[in-house]
Amino acid sequence: MRQATVYIDSEALQYNLNRVKQLAPTAKIVSMVKANAYGHGVKDCLAALANTDAFGVACLEEALEIRELGYQQPITLIEGIFSAEEMQIVIDQNIEIVVHHQQQLDWLRAQKDAYIAKNLKIWVKLNSGMNRLGFKVDEIIDVIHQLKADGFNCVLAMHFANADADNHPLNEQQKQQFLHVKEACAPILASCCNSAAIFKWPELNFDFVRPGIMLYGASPFADKTVEDLDIQPVMTFTAEIIALNTIQAGESVGYGSTFIADKETELAIVSIGYGDGYPRAFFKQNYVAINGQKVPVVGRVAMDMIAIDVTDLNAQLGTQVELWGKHRLVDDVAEANGTIGYELLCRLSNRPIRKKP
Ligand SMILES: *Cc1c(COP(=O)(O)O)cnc(C)c1O
């Protein structure tokens, strides 16, 4: 059987959840498990995150999957509902929603009593300059006052556009607007921290923090490693060597013959490719790890296979190759690919087998 495999380290996930608790001891933790738990597989991750206070997802389908698996914690739909029909389902299933525009407020008001009777909080989104979702600072105060007058329990919510960047001027603007609205609507619950903000601004942890990428052990910062942050990679993505070829100087490997050996070279063919979600385009030398040792990928990544240079290594058929994990960090593969760890994790296909270690 083809052995492209994703292993999920539940202990690493628990370790990272504890890191959130250390960094934000007084806040409740809304663990972000959208996009199939950032590609890790929601089922295994929910079990490991059993101690979280709540979950955050991007849509109703993702929330219902959590309920079907039997988890009863609060769930927040971070983009709210997408149609009026979804309102009844969120009430029945005890799912909390974000409201970020007038139409969603109308849908909510139409079922006001049922929503409030379930003790569900309503998350009201401030647009403080990211300009994706939310009410502007001059409208949200009225929106919240009205919701409170109607008897809703509100959470003021906001998302930073540049929490990963030092000294971006928008950070200060977003903070100031958030604090202004929080003050004007006091008393009100508040939530504005994703992973990067949890690390950077402990003073903004407030009532709920919303960690995503740090739970999975990848860095939200381009200039800080998981070691710097004391978090542990959760996913190990591996495949096996399925062929060995010795090529001579002047010979090439793979599509386009982009790698041409300059000396006798021992190549190993590994059963992984972009059909599994391994990225194809690299503008820096990319590596895999074998027994913790860095091994260069050579030639083009194909749909099902890559070639690696195992000259002077004792590689054999069946030798396990780590594409990313604890030795070859997903953040480093992403950097060589011109993207971020988030994307590589989320865009894994469903072809790799998923196993517990
Ligand atoms: C995805 C998401 C998060 C988590 O962000 P990370 O950078 O992965 O920690 C937090 N809040 C909202 C609203 C999100 O959409």
pLDDT tens digits for range 300-312: 999 999 999 999 9
The answer to whether residues 59 and 169 belong to one domain is yes
Region 225-239: mean pLDDT is 98
Pick out the residues of the known binding site: 132, 303
Query: pLDDT at residue 84 above 80?
Result: yes
C-alpha to C-alpha distance for 280 and 282, rounded to whole angstroms? 7
C-alpha to C-alpha distance for 301 and 306, rounded to whole angstroms? 5
Residue 20 belongs to a domain: yes
The answer to whether residues 189 and 282 belong to one domain is no
Q: Is 28 a catalytic residue?
A: no
User: Tell me, what CATH number does 148's domain have?
Assistant: 3.20.20.10
Identify the band that residue 176 occupies on the pLDDT scale cut at 50, 70 and 90. very high
Q: What is the pLDDT of residue 241?
A: 98
Q: Which residues line ligand 1 (CB under 6 A)?
A: 32, 34, 78, 159, 194-196, 210-214, 220
Query: pLDDT at residue 356 above 80?
Result: no
Query: pLDDT at residue 116 above 80?
Result: yes
* Cα angle 120, 16, 290; round to 5: 135
The answer to whether residues 25 and 135 belong to one domain is yes
Q: Which of these, 56, 41, 10, lies nearest to 277 by C-alpha position?
A: 41
Bridging pattern class, strands 154-157 and 189-191: parallel
pTM: 0.96
The answer to whether residues 203 and 279 belong to one domain is no
Domain range for residue 327?
235-355
Quick count: other Cβ atoms within 10 Å of Cβ 356?
9
Bridging pattern class, strands 75-77 and 189-191: unpaired
The answer to whether residues 55 and 146 belong to one domain is yes
Pick out the residues of the known binding site for substrate: 132, 303
pLDDT tens digits for range 242-253: 999 999 999 999
Give the chain's mean pLDDT. Answer: 97
Cα 123 to ligand 1 centre (Å)? 15
C-alpha to C-alpha distance for 20 and 73, rounded to whole angstroms? 18
Quick count: other Cβ atoms within 10 Å of Cβ 314?
8
pLDDT tens digits for range 325-351: 999 999 999 999 999 999 999 999 999
User: Tell me, what CATH number does 296's domain have?
Assistant: 2.40.37.10
Question: 335 with 343: CB under 8 angstroms?
Answer: no
Q: Is 34 a catalytic residue?
A: yes
Which residue has its alpha carbon closest to ligand 1 atom 4? 212
C-alpha to C-alpha distance for 194 and 210, rounded to whole angstroms? 5
Query: pLDDT at residue 197 above 90?
Result: yes
Query: pLDDT at residue 6 above 80?
Result: yes
Identify the band that residue 357 occupies on the pLDDT scale cut at 50, 70 and 90. low
Question: 225 with 329: CB under 8 angstroms?
Answer: yes
Cα 307 to ligand 1 centre (Å)? 35
Residue 227 belongs to a domain: no
**If you search the block for the tokens 């396990």, which residue do you land on?**
320
The answer to whether residues 205 and 259 belong to one domain is no
Given 255, 284, 294, 355, which residue is catalytic?
255
Q: What is the pLDDT of residue 261?
A: 98
Helix (H, G, I), strand (E, B) or coil at 8: strand
Region 33-39: mean pLDDT is 98
Question: 23 with 202: CB under 8 angstroms?
Answer: yes
Q: What is the pLDDT of residue 185?
A: 98
Domain count for the chain, please give it: 2
The answer to whether residues 97 and 137 belong to one domain is yes
